[in-house]
Each structure stands twice: as structure tokens, then as C-alpha cells.
């Protein structure tokens, strides 16, 4: 049976992710900083909260950035970036000097508060409905009109190529709520904090059949 791992680099909430993943799959993901013994079909989750530069520094210090790139390149492991962990998949962010993982071409930019109506605030915090660009995608399974996720972020992902944008959501403007490339997916929202909608999503991720 494929195993599940969470990259444990001291950035982000791991307890709820572990618990929710276990709740939907029966399997408790292992925390790890060693990516050398992953096997084809394994699941790897990259959580993250906070500053883009700080998170990249941590990944670099722990020598995790290159192994993550290689795993993504191999296409053999299903990888899920969550919130800041998703943003790190891109090439960089307006938030920091540090380069991102560059697995998905594109940048992260801050929401422009001036372009939003006064009642919409930055950070974008709260529950938002999510649309899917590709309803046939295995990770969109089980989503419907009711599906909503918890978001908390000030920066948004801007993938260069439209085919890398999987989910969209609205906060004054439409923004990319999920990116995807081969066996790698990244979501701006927090499935582990999104009740049954998050459980459904993590279940889809656990069952995702990658090539």
C-alpha cells in the first residue's frame, strides 16, 4: 500500500492534517525530512503557513528543495502543497527575495486592496466557494455547488500557463485557488480545516491514480 508523508520543516499546521488524513484513509501520515526513501505511488504533503522567504530558507537549510523538485519531475509521487506550501511550488513571490521551488511556472502576487470593494479585506480570511477548470480531474471529484473551503492568505498564485490552473475562487477578483501539473497539485485553501469538504478533497488526493 502506498504510504503517506508530510514534510516536517517547522512551517505550518501538521496535527489537523495528520488527523484528517487518517480519518478519511485510516492511515496516519508520517512526518519526514528525508525524501530519499519514497516509493512510486506514495503521497507527499507540503503544508505551510507564514512567510514565503522564511519557508524557502527552511526547505533549503534542510536540503529539501532539490529532492522536492526531483520528486515532482519524476511524476511518480503524488504531491500536495497546501496554502503557502502551494505557493512554494511556483517560481517566486512578491513577498520575498528567495526563489520558489519552480515546479510550476509563475509567481505569487499580493492582492491589491485598492482594487477591491471596501468591505473586502486583506488577508482574505474565510470560507469561499471553489470552481474547477477541469471537472474531470480526479481531485475535483465529489465537489458540488455546496463545496467551500477555508482560505487565509494575502498573496495569490498566478501560474503562467492556463493549463496549470485547476481551481478558481473569488475575492473581489477571480484568483487561482489551485494549481496542478502532472502528479503535483497545490491548493491555496486549507483542506484540513474545511470539514467534510476538506475530507472529500483529501480522500480524492489519497485515491489519485498517477501515471
Is the Cβ of residue 20 or residue 38 nearer to other proteins in the bound state?
Answer: 20
Nearest approach, Cβ of residue 211 and other proteins (Å): 31
160, 190, 195, 209: the catalytic one is: 190
Is the Cβ of residue 93 or residue 183 nearer to other proteins in the bound state?
Answer: 93
Is the Cβ of residue 120 or residue 158 nearer to other proteins in the bound state?
Answer: 120
CA distance 7 to 74: 18
83, 108, 176, 180: the catalytic one is: 83
| Annotation says 137 is catalytic | no
* CB of 9 closer than 8 Å to CB of 64: yes
Nearest approach, Cβ of residue 157 and other proteins (Å): 16
DSSP per residue, 143-183:
--TT-EEEEEESEEEEESSGGGEEEEEEESEEEEEEEEETT
Coil/strand/helix, residue 140: helix
Nearest approach, Cβ of residue 114 and other proteins (Å): 9
* CB of 41 closer than 8 Å to CB of 76: yes
The H helix count followed by the E strand count for the chain is 5, 13
Contact residues for other proteins, defined by CB under 8 A: 10, 13-16, 18-20, 49-51, 54, 84, 113, 118-123, 125-128, 146, 148, 150, 152-154, 190, 192-196, 198-199
30, 192, 195, 209: the catalytic one is: 192
Coil/strand/helix, residue 27: coil
| Annotation says 146 is catalytic | no
Nearest approach, Cβ of residue 121 and other proteins (Å): 4
CA distance 54 to 58: 6
| Annotation says 180 is catalytic | no
Is the Cβ of residue 43 or residue 171 nearer to other proteins in the bound state?
Answer: 171
* CB of 155 closer than 8 Å to CB of 94: yes
Annotated active-site positions, please? Answer: 83, 190, 192
Amino acid at each position: 500500500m502506498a504510504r503517506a508523508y508530510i514534510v516536517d520543516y517547522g512551517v505550518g499546521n501538521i496535527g489537523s492534517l495528520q488527523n484528517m488524513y487518517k480519518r478519511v484513509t485510516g492511515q496516519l501520515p508520517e512526518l519526514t525530512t528525508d525524501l530519499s526513501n519514497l516509493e512510486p505511488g506514495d503521497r507527499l504533503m507540503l503544508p505551510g503557513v507564514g512567510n514565503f522567504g522564511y519557508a524557502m530558507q527552511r526547505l533549503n537549510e534542510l536540503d529539501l528543495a532539490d529532492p522536492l523538485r526531483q520528486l515532482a519531475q519524476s511524476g511518480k509521487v503524488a504531491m500536495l502543497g497546501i496554502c503557502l506550501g502551494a505557493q512554494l511550488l511556483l517560481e517566486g513571490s512578491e513577498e520575498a527575495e528567495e526563489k520558489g521551488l519552480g515546479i510550476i511556472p509563475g509567481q505569487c502576487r499580493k492582492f491589491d486592496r485598492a482594487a477591491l470593494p471596501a468591505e473586502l479585506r486583506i488577508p482574505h480570511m474565510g470560507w469561499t466557494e471553489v470552481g474547477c477548470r477541469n471537472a474531470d480531474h480526479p481531485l475535483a471529484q465529489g465537489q458540488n455547488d455546496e463545496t467551500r473551503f477555508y482560505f487565509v492568505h494575502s498573496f495569490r498564485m498566478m501560474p503562467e500557463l492556463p493549463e496549470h490552473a485547476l481551481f478558481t475562487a473569488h475575492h473581489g477578483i477571480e484568483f487561482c485557488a489551485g494549481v496542478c501539473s502532472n502528479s503535483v497539485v497545490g491548493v491555496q485553501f486549507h483542506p484540513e480545516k474545511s470539514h467534510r469538504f476538506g475530507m472529500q478533497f483529501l480522500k480524492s488526493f489519497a485515491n489519485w491514480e498517477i501515471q
